[in-house]
Amino acid sequence: MTNKEHDWEFGIKEDGHTSKEDANENIILGEGKFKYETSGENWGNLPKGWVYKEATAVDVNSKDLVYVFNRGTTPMIIFNAEGDIVNTWGNGIFKNPHGVTIGPNDEVFCVDNGDHTVRKFTADGKLLMTIGTAGKESPQMSGIPFAKPTHVAIDQRTGEFYVADGYSNAVVHKYTPEGKLQFTWGESGTNPGQFNIVHNICVDSEGWVYIADRENHRIQVFDSNGKYETQWGNLSRAAAICLSKNQTQDLIYVGEYFCGIGSNDQGTDLGPRVSILNLQGKILARLGRQSYGEQKGRFFSPHGIAVDSKGNIYVAEVSWSDYGSKMEPPRELRSMQKLVKI
């Protein structure tokens, strides 16, 4: 990977031009009714000496408190909408934070793909339930829970939840609200109903299940029994997915990785970016046209995504794993952005 740090100190206007004079300006991303302002800075007021290292996942509860699951100083940091810390917890519990999902009563589901568990907590961090045995990984591609799981989605109508078991398995598991396994579906492959990294998952108000099938560059849609319905293409490496209701319709927000190769690292419209779709899979807006980078208006690797009640988008990125750790010398990069709806 080419290190272009000499370019990354500049800002980028909506038209894509850069200059030192633009460096302090916020950037507008999006189109039509979907425009957002971003500062290009790491969002969240961390105390001196604290780091995210990388924010791997994010979700927002009913009070618009923002839960940032990260691999830095403390694994769970809870912010208010202004970016001030209101609580932290999770020290000594997690091996490798990966996914976070807020439940219908503001409970918090945390997926640790390092110790192969899903844990359910109260909003303030009291452990309620653990699924899986810490440190015990199921055989690779066995379909048995869990082999490096990635994310949880909850059916708000019933409290049933789905676990994406995606890095060493290629399946989705459905559980009762009490944590009893009901059934499992999926297998490795590229055909409909098959997966190549089951990464993120969400459920709409009618129970349809949307899965970010990352390395197959698509979203797949299933009913609540795991029956394949359809798929949406024309995406980059679809990694992060969430659902939010605006004033007129439900929307799907997808965070996508860069899908080029090293020699094409400045290709446009290849990700990384955020795409906004309706529930029929129609793309309503793309946020970000340029390649990866630290400049304002760009992303590294959108790994988790959430939307608050005002329509603001929070994007967590595994920028250390994908980029910063490979630099000479290695350094922490921006991994948490807030895109403010305008």
List pLDDT tens digits, range 231-287.
999 999 999 999 997 657 899 999 999 998 888 989 999 999 999 999 999 999 999
Report the alpha-carbon distance of residue 52 to residue 247 in Å, rounded: 33
- pTM for this one? 0.93
Tokens (6 digits) for 177: 């609200």
Count Cβ atoms within 10 A of the Cβ of residue 20 and give its class: 0-12 exposed, 13-18 middle, 19 or more buried: exposed
Find tokens 């089951």 and name the residue. 198
∠ at Cα 127 (152, 165), nearest 5°? 25
The tokens for 314 are 């929070």
Q: What's the CA gap between 282 and 208, in Å, rounded?
A: 16
Token pair in block for residue 126: 């009291």
Q: What is the predicted pLDDT for the residue at 13?
A: 38
- pLDDT at position 81: 97
pLDDT for 262 equals: 82
Under 8 Å CB-to-CB from 221, ≥6 apart: which residues? 208, 209, 210, 211, 228, 229, 230, 231, 232, 281
CB 66 within 8 A of CB 45: no
pLDDT of residue 18: 39
The long-range contacts involving 241-247, CB below 8 angstroms and separated by at least 24 positions, are 241/200, 241/201, 241/202, 241/210, 241/211, 241/212, 241/305, 242/59, 242/200, 242/202, 242/305, 242/306, 242/307, 243/202, 243/203, 243/204, 243/210, 244/307, 244/311, 245/205, 246/311
Q: Report residues of the chain scoring pLDDT below 70.
A: 1-24, 246-247
